[in-house]
Amino acid sequence: MRKIIISIILVLFTTINYCQSNDGTVFKYTAVSEIAVQADLIIFQITISEQNTDPEAAYKIHKEKESKLASLIKELGIPDSNIVYSLLSISQPRLARDNKNYNTNQKIRLKLDDFSLYEKVQIELLKMGINEFNSIFSSSDTDKIREKGITELVLTAREEAETYAEELGLKVERVIEIESRSRRLDGGKPVFFTASPEVDYSMMDIPQSYSVKLMANISFLLSK
Could you confirm whether domain 41-138 is CATH 1.10.630.10? no
Contact partners, residue 39, CB within 8 Å, separation at least 6: 2, 137, 138, 139, 207, 208, 209, 210
The predicted structure's pLDDT at residue 215: 85
Query: What kind of architecture, by CATH, is found in domain 6-39+141-223?
Result: 2-Layer Sandwich (3.30)
Q: Which pTM was predicted?
A: 0.66
The predicted structure's pLDDT at residue 211: 79
Contact partners, residue 213, CB within 8 Å, separation at least 6: 32, 33, 34, 35, 182, 183, 184, 185
Give tens-digit pLDDT for 56-80. Answer: 999 999 999 999 999 999 999 999 9
Alpha-carbon gap, residue 121 to 130, rounded angstroms: 11
Give tens-digit pLDDT for 206-220. Answer: 667 777 888 888 889
Contact partners, residue 129, CB within 8 Å, separation at least 6: 65
Give tens-digit pLDDT for 6-47. Answer: 444 434 344 555 555 556 788 888 888 887 788 889 999 999
Asked if the domains at 6-39+141-223 and 41-138 fall in one CATH topology, the answer is no
Mean pLDDT of the region 96-107: 84
Domain boundaries, the chain: 6-39+141-223, 41-138
